[in-house]
Amino acid sequence: MPSASASDTTQLHQALVDQLASAGHIRNPRVEAAFRAVPRHPFLPDIAPDEVYRDTAIVTKRADGQPISSSSQPAIMAIMLEQSTRSATRPTSFGDRHGHRLQRRLAISHRRR
């Protein structure tokens, strides 16, 4: 896997957040701040940054050739987080085994205080 510079990775990260906001998936400033604060690539260290920062789910584990675990599509994460900020009831699951959804959720919660 080719290595990207920190600057390149930051640009890819911020471009994805810009894309999600432009598409209307991110509307709440807290959700946007959380997406900007929590990069995706540390949770997917074996995936090239240009793939990590696409708005796609990434298969992270297979069994018998079938996908059994993945990192969720960023747009889906944004939609879930947006809904959680508007709802009196909070979803109980924010994580996948990679933890970046949970980190974003914690970033949003921290900004409320």
Tokens of 113: 């205080």
Q: What is the number of domains present in the chain?
A: 1
Res 92: pLDDT: 47
Average pLDDT over residues 74-91: 80
Q: What is the pLDDT of residues 21-60, one digit of tens each?
A: 999 999 999 999 999 999 999 999 999 999 999 999 999 9
Residue 80: give the domain boundaries: 6-112
Q: What is the domain-level CATH number for residue 26?
A: 3.40.50.150
Do residues 104 and 77 make contact, with C-beta atoms less than 8 angstroms apart? yes
Tokens of 71: 């990192």
18 falls within a domain: yes
Identify the CA nearest to 71 among candidates 40, 46, 38: 40
